[in-house]
Structure 1
């Protein structure tokens, strides 16, 4: 039976070295293998080696901190991208900038039903509902290329790929939905 690989990383190498030095200085003689593993784990911020091992081998269920989850929102970019959408939440034109195109796709992504297998005709209808410039094919292909839609190799069945958008994508999606709901009301 092979041993599992246990990754070990520290955020601050200097603090780690100081902590490890203190653990080694307080120990009489040369530490055993297990004692050294425990010292390394404690210096890295874990209770002991078993704690480090259980965290490394367990599925990730730790809550994501806000610093990890949300990079800062670029409000200026969101405002620039929203200029490509009308007051009904439909995309009016395909942007020239690639990073704006990707963010616009999040707005179109909101029109694709989640959790369903769709035919190409159904995907085209959903995309057509979300834009006014008449080129659903470029939007569909771009969504597949960017990993927002998956399709079978023959191109007959599509499905929306559920994922967490970047902060700008979330802001665009929220505004597109708000505009579309305002029209529906």
Structure 2
């Protein structure tokens, strides 16, 4: 017979432990020992570990400004694109490859099912080294594109790009706009 879990939320550990100590009476261990016992029962090493975890959670919740992009990685990636926003060569570093693919991802029509030839045409317009198959496969392995098992239909995976990718997409989009004018 399985038991239904009963959640327990305690706003402040000290009054809870005092009440527990009063209930135990003379057999109660010291306040600190009892606090450590409760912390271990909650899955922490001790009360200091519990406090550190709580403080870290508060800091993360209060964090309002988004993380800054990795300027060096963004710069390396942008260096691989020509003045018209086309990828000149396939990067050797995996992190730069992935970031470059985000710029190509932004050029793929969203919410539209495409055939392989259409995806290739879209990618060929955005790179100079004539290898849409590598780009397509890598985009699928990175989760930027999906395809049917038979390879007949491709779709762009709609998702929020990372901060670095947003910066690259923004800069490359500006170059593409200038190309089209």
SS in 1 for 2:155: strand
Q: 1:112 aligns with which of 105, 108, 111?
A: 108
Can you list the C-alpha shifts for 1:28-58, whole angstroms capped at 9, x where unaligned? 637xxxxxxxxx9xxx9xxxxxxxxxxxxxx
Return the alpha-carbon distance in structure 1 between the equivalents of residues 12 and 4 of structure 2. 26
Question: Is the helix fraction higher in 1 or 2?
Answer: 2
Return the alpha-carbon distance in structure 2 between the equivalents of residues 8 and 108 of structure 1. 48
Shift of 1:65: 6.1
Return the alpha-carbon distance in structure 1 between the equivalents of residues 150 and 73 of structure 2. 36
RMSD (Å), alpha carbons: 3.2
Can you list the C-alpha shifts for 1:87-135, whole angstroms capped at 9, x where unaligned? 1111010001111100000011111000011000111111111111111
Q: 2:18 aligns with which of 15, 20, 25?
A: 25
Alignment check: 8 A CA contact 1:111 1:129 kept = no
Match of 1:60 in 2: none
Shift of 1:69: 8.2
SS in 2 for 1:154: coil
TM-score of the superposed pair, with normalisation by structure 2: 0.70
Change in Cα spacing, 1:83 to 1:155, as seen in structure 2 (3 Å) is same
Return the alpha-carbon distance in structure 2 between the equivalents of residues 69 and 6 of structure 1. 36
Change in Cα spacing, 1:122 to 1:70, as seen in structure 2 (3 Å) is same
Return the alpha-carbon distance in structure 1 between the equivalents of residues 124 and 6 of structure 2. 49
Return the alpha-carbon distance in structure 1 between the equivalents of residues 155 and 7 of structure 2. 35
SS in 2 for 1:118: coil
- Give the unaligned 5+ runs of structure 1: 10-15, 31-39, 45-63
- Give the unaligned 5+ runs of structure 2: 25-37, 43-59
